Amino acid sequence: MTVRFGLLGAGRIGNVHARAIGSNADARLVAVADAVPASAKAVSAAYGAEVRSIDKILASKDIDAVVICTPTDTHADLIEKFSRAGKAIFCEKPIDLDVARVRKCLEVVAQTKALLMVGFNRRFDPHFMAVRQQISEGAIGKVEQVLITSRDPGPPPGEYITRSGGIFRDMTIHDFDMARFLLGAEPVSVAAEASVLVDKQIGRLGDFDTASVILTTRAGQQAVISNSRRATYGYDQRIEVLGAKGMVAAENQRPVSIEVANAKGFTRPPLHDFFMTRYIAAYANEIAAFIKAVGSNVPGKPDGADGLAALLLADAALKSVKEKRTVMLKEIAG
């Protein structure tokens, strides 16, 4: 079966997904919608698709699934609409920045029994997948500590910060999902510290740019996250998992892995400078997993519940910073 796609939003990440669909033998990009006609046209031309409005895609019988890459504040509405229209949905994270709104949206998804997959792309990175597989195969025994280092090359513009929901909901949320993916158990409490060390404007906007977080499960397993909005050496993405029998780790990826040696020492080039080049394989694997889920009519993972869980951890972290205490998840989750 070939899955026929509608793409909602033809911006930066929309293009990434369009390419993934285009190069997948089991999928075809049928239609593209974007508020900017030129963007929609460019993508449609490159992949032999039509330009259609969102409403038209909603009504299209030749569309099985949509990829939602529109602005965050439209996600929940679109998920609800396309759920009701019986389309399978892949939605970029987050579903919404507000927990109540996410919950309401997921109720609709549940009622309509729609297939909803949420874009936590890192779960599909080949190296992180291999880490997960080692854990699953018992190579390190029961997980005891997870260490996640996640640093952006540089801070985003102030305008982006304003709309982002803050560092925990925008950046750390990927690490919250990764921690859940690796711990194999739900965190029950969060202790977080956050500072403004990189960009004072970020502080003026009420956000942070440097954060350290400890998650703890009921059994006492710990996940430690280290975030910064600045890493001069590139996009720093590492994970490490300690278990009763050993440790498994995934190192940083490099676009070019050479080494130059001279009197100053041995130098390797910087890391990727952009999440799209760093996670190029992850994005392709992610869409392939969605296509497979649609084709076989099984639930996709990570799903709406995963999106909600990560958002709750973000809210708990923010509360921990503000109240200078360990916050229990049940305080947030109600």
Residues lying near its own copies in the complex (CB under 8 A): 23, 25, 46, 126-127, 130-131, 134, 139-140, 142, 144-145, 147, 149, 151, 189, 191-193, 195-198, 210-212, 214, 216, 219-222, 224, 226, 228, 230-233, 236, 242, 244-251, 253, 255-270, 324-326
Q: What is the C-alpha separation between 171 and 122, in angstroms, rounded?
A: 12
Nearest to 91 by CA among 104, 103, 80: 80
Cβ proximity to its own copies: between 266 and 334 the closer is: 266
Q: Is 116 helix (H, G, I), strand (E, B) or coil?
A: strand
Cβ proximity to its own copies: between 157 and 265 the closer is: 265
Residue with tokens 């291999």: 130
Residues 6+ apart with CB under 8 A from 129: 123, 285
Q: What is the C-alpha separation between 103 and 115, in angstroms, rounded?
A: 16
Minimum Å distance from CB 332 to its own copies?
15
Residue type, 101: R
Minimum Å distance from CB 281 to its own copies?
10
Cβ proximity to its own copies: between 114 and 179 the closer is: 179
Please, what is the Cα angle at 8 between 7 and 11, to 5 degrees? 95
Minimum Å distance from CB 324 to its own copies?
4
Cβ proximity to its own copies: between 38 and 100 the closer is: 38
Cβ proximity to its own copies: between 205 and 247 the closer is: 247
Cβ proximity to its own copies: between 85 and 224 the closer is: 224
Minimum Å distance from CB 162 to its own copies?
21
Minimum Å distance from CB 85 to its own copies?
30
Phi, psi of 74 (to 5 degrees): -100, -10
Copy the structure tokens of residue 165: 């929901």
Minimum Å distance from CB 320 to its own copies?
8
Cβ proximity to its own copies: between 70 and 227 the closer is: 227
Q: What is the C-alpha separation between 236 and 54, in angstroms, rounded?
A: 36
Cβ proximity to its own copies: between 142 and 163 the closer is: 142
Residues 6+ apart with CB under 8 A from 168: 192, 194, 211, 213, 313, 314, 315, 317, 318
Minimum Å distance from CB 147 to its own copies?
6
Tell me which H or E stretch contains 327. strand 327-328
As to burial, measured by CB atoms within 10 angstroms (0-12 exposed, 13-18 middle, 19+ buried), residue 264 is: exposed
Minimum Å distance from CB 227 to its own copies?
9
